[in-house]
Homo-oligomer: A and B are copies of this chain.
Amino acid sequence: MSAVLSDQGAFVAWRQARQDAVEAALSEWVSADAPAGLGDAMRYAVLDGGKRLRPLLVLAASEAVAGSAEAAMRAACAVELIHAYSLVHDDMPCMDNDVLRRGKPTVHVRYGEAQALLAGDALQALAFELLVPDDGSVGPAMAAQLCRQMARAAGANGMAGGQAVDLASVGHVLDQPALEAMHRKKTGALLQASVLMGAATGQADRDVLVHLARYGASLGLAFQVVDDVLDVTADSATLGKTAGKDAAADKPTFVSLLGLEAAQAYADSVIDEAHQALDHSGLPDAGILHALADWVGRRAY
């Protein structure tokens, strides 16, 4: 870990500054101009909420490879829009039927189901639009690469596919490899893509990319294990969403499979793997990426 980031205060300052910058960029790019209230629903779905973990991973990876700051901010906001749209659709009555998200009523509760459906659809389109500006701020080769990475991570063999497996697994017993395979698609693919899209905003050796891919995969798995632990140990007010809903929905989780204590220990060991991947990457300054891994491992909401 780099000297400056061994200081937890420096990481907190970095995180806060980047979260603020992402919030400002999202507020600019997710316009209220869209007709018939659609823009309002999109902004409600995106702004003023969340840890912005995916954008932070994009920005940290980009900074670690000295990438383009402008391309990185677009990629950071794009992955956050993909994440936000997936939450809007996931919360709908035909999916998880959830009424609370980030401490507020979910989009369909606030704006109706039809508007929520359209807002999610429009956010996905906007995510891709952000990656291909016509002002020359992202070169075409980089833009095409970012679109490719995001489309694969979001699509049928990434996030959407993982959600389909998740739906099909309700009430079934999954063993640990099957549970991990599901989460690798459902949440892991976009988290890993966030790291690799950040790296794609600069010039990184193939060897560095291999290690960053391992880092992203470990961090994604750890994120989900911690999520399952928090679903049991935290309350709804802290989480900003309904706690205990996985157990109520009879969904397989790392806690139901391993028990609470072993699940927490497993999360710690996977975070260690993320650190090791960075150590082997040869990146001269991976301090922020290390700190983000610890943040994911220790998060309380």
Whether A168 lies near B36 (C-beta < 8 A) is yes
With contact pairs A122-B155, A122-B156, A151-B126 given, residues A35 and B167 touching in the complex (Cβ less than 8 Å): no
Q: How large is the interface on A (under 10, 10 to 19, 20 to 34, 35 or more residues)?
A: 35 or more
Whether B118 lies near A164 (C-beta < 8 A) is yes
Whether A147 lies near B143 (C-beta < 8 A) is yes
Question: What residue in chain B is nearest A155 (Cβ atoms)?
Answer: B125
With contact pairs A95-B114, A117-B89, A161-B38 given, residues A129 and B148 touching in the complex (Cβ less than 8 Å): yes
A53 CB to nearest chain B CB (Å): 20
* Chain A 137-151 near chain B by CB (<8 Å), digits 1 or 0: 000110111011011
A131 at the interface (CB under 8 A from B): yes
Question: What residue in chain B is nearest A141 (Cβ atoms)?
Answer: B140
A128 at the interface (CB under 8 A from B): yes
Which of B35, B143, B160 is within 8 Å of A122, CB to CB?
Answer: B160
Whether B167 lies near A36 (C-beta < 8 A) is yes
A15 at the interface (CB under 8 A from B): no
Interface residues, chain A, with chain B CB atoms under 8 Å away:
31, 33-39, 42, 85-86, 89, 92, 94-95, 112-115, 117-118, 120-122, 124-126, 128-129, 131-132, 134, 140-141, 143-145, 147-148, 150-152, 154-158, 160-165, 167-168, 185
Please list 27 pairs of residues, one from A and one from B, whose beta carbons are closer than 8 Å in the complex, sorted by A's number. A33-B157, A34-B160, A34-B164, A35-B162, A35-B164, A36-B165, A85-B121, A86-B121, A89-B121, A92-B94, A94-B117, A95-B117, A115-B164, A117-B117, A120-B121, A122-B156, A125-B155, A125-B156, A125-B158, A125-B160, A128-B128, A128-B150, A128-B151, A131-B147, A132-B145, A132-B148, A132-B151
